[in-house]
Amino acid sequence: MNKKTVRDIDIKGKKVLVRCDFNVPFDENRKITDNRRIVAALPTIKYLIENDCKVILCSHLGRPKGEVKPEFSLDIVAAELSRLLGQEVKLAKDVVGPDARRLAENLKPGEVMLLENVRFEPGEEKNDDELSKAFASLAEVYVNDAFGTAHRAHSSTTGVAKYLPAVSGFLIEKELNFLGSALENPERPFMAILGGRKVSDKIGVIESLLEKVDVLMIGGAMAYTFFKAMGYNVGNSVCELDKLDLAKEVMEKAKTKGVKFMLPVDTKVGKEFKPDTESKTVKFSEIPDGWEGFDIGEETIKLYSEELKKAKTVIWNGPVGLFEFDQFAVGTNSIAKALADIDAVKIVGGGDSAAAVEKAGLADKFTHISTGGGASLEFLEGKKLPGIEALQDK
């Protein structure tokens, strides 16, 4: 990684503003249901505490759209951080207002505070310059450790970096090292599994990976657009009729590049979009009218699992079925188990596939599970991420 990290500059005793990704899921009682993103930020926070820094953390939670909405307060994050760090993390009542300033001015070395939800500020998502300056006025150094928002040019992710020395934390360093080395210098065979709903969502990633991988496996609802492009009936399955030519081009490009392009050979279909719907497994070419494809079938699971045994590097992005419904989570869980069993560099590209691996209890069997859904996708596409670009080069 050619960006400076907190290790590369003198931070001893300094006041440091850290952008974290504490956008965690919580239930109707406002209890955090998955604290992974908070845990992922701890190495950077602890390093700053050990170096006697005065630590000011900031993050967004949910989509309050520039309004103060109590249900999106970071109070639940402050409580969880206090528990995990074993010391009090004070929460400011505002983002860059009087309370935030008072707490920041009174911070002692080794103490930690958290600003209120940055998206309570209408200027945050507009990358407002005045707000960026207000963030910068709180500290002497800026650290970005929020990979999940690195693809957004907001005041707290890029704007503030214009006014303070800006470096990365350990989480961003880890993300870029794993994702970067997998793309730039993979051990081969290099395989990718892409799932998800639409070809259009993943087309940039597909085209980028076709330049790099030896094998590309397709799953999820986007497979039906490929089936349709091949002239088969897809029943009521999700299908982008305006992307059939694109699907054909992708298959043609794979052939030209010598990439093994794998589509499901069978599919589990259901009558309706509900957990307990009637279902059956059919050949990909025999989806009946009135039925909808929701998962890969047993033959595909076998085929993909056998192929993966040869892999030395694998990137997986997107579930291969409707994994939220148990009867259609079989494919995704089976792929997770197949990957867990092989000896290779295995990277899960955030979002739903990361949730599936966690749910299956297999997270410790993977080399790296990315914390950034959209950011991982854009990185895999080869796009520049504004939050990373804004940091100092080594």
Q: Tokens 């950034």 sit at which residue? A: 372
* The pairing of beta strand 266-270 with beta strand 279-283: antiparallel
Is 30 in a helix, a strand, or coil?
A: coil
Residues linked to residue 166 through DSSP beta bridges, in sequence order:
142
* Mutual angle of helices 373-380 and 170-184, in 10-degree steps: 30
Question: Exposure pattern of 124-149 as b/e (b: 16+ CB <10 Å)?
Answer: bbebbeebbebbbebbebbbbbbbbb
Q: Tokens at residue 219, please?
A: 């799953």
CA 68 to chain centroid, in Å, comes to: 26
Is 200 in a helix, a strand, or coil?
A: helix
Q: Tokens 């010391």 sit at which residue? A: 87
CA 150 to chain centroid, in Å, comes to: 10
- Distance of alpha carbon 180 from alpha carbon 202, whole angstroms: 19
- Distance of alpha carbon 282 from alpha carbon 128, whole angstroms: 54
Summarize the chain as % helix, strand, coil (round to 5): 40, 15, 40
User: What's the half-sphere exposure (Cβ side, CA atoms, 13 Å) at 182?
Assistant: 33
Q: Which residues are catalytic?
A: 37, 198, 351, 374
Structural element, H or E, at residue 251: helix 244-257
Structural element, H or E, at residue 280: strand 279-283
Residues contacting residue 43 through CB under 8 Å, at least 6 positions apart? 169, 170, 171
Is 49 in a helix, a strand, or coil?
A: helix
